[in-house]
Amino acid sequence: MKKIFATLMMMAMMAVTIPSLAGTASAQTRYRSSRTSTTVYRRPSFYRRHRNMINMAIGAGSGALVGGLIGGRRGVGLGLLGGLGAGALYTYKLNPKVRRY
C-alpha cells in the first residue's frame, strides 16, 4: 500500500511540475541581428535533429520483432543485429542527410 501511495504522490507532483517548466523554455526561435536587419531562425524538429538514431532504432526494433516471431529468443538477438545493420545502411548510404543552409 505504501508503494502505491508513494507512486501516486510522485505522479501528482510531476503532473504539477512538468507543465510549469514547459512554459519557461524559449529556445524555439533564435534571433540574429545586424545593423540592417534581424533574422529569425527556427530550431529544427526533433526528428531532424536525431534522424540517424531514430531510423536505426526503428530498424533494430522491427528486426528484433520479426526475429522473435520466427526464431524465438535467439532470433531476437539476430534480428536486432540484422535490423540495426539495415537501418544503418538505409540512414548512411541509401538516404544520407542533406544539410540545407
Q: For 43-94, what is each residue's pLDDT tens digit?
A: 788 888 888 899 999 999 999 999 999 988 899 999 999 999 999 998 888 8
Classified as helix, coil or strand, 96 is coil
The total number of structural domains that make up the chain: 1
Question: Which residue segment(s) compose the domain that 88 sits in?
Answer: 44-96
Whether 64 maps to a domain, the answer reads: yes
Closest CA to 54 of 83, 77, 79, 87: 87
Whether 3 maps to a domain, the answer reads: no
Whether 69 maps to a domain, the answer reads: yes
Closest CA to 92 of 64, 44, 59: 59
- The HSE-up count of residue 33 (CA atoms within 13 Å, CB side) is 3
pTM assigned to the model: 0.56
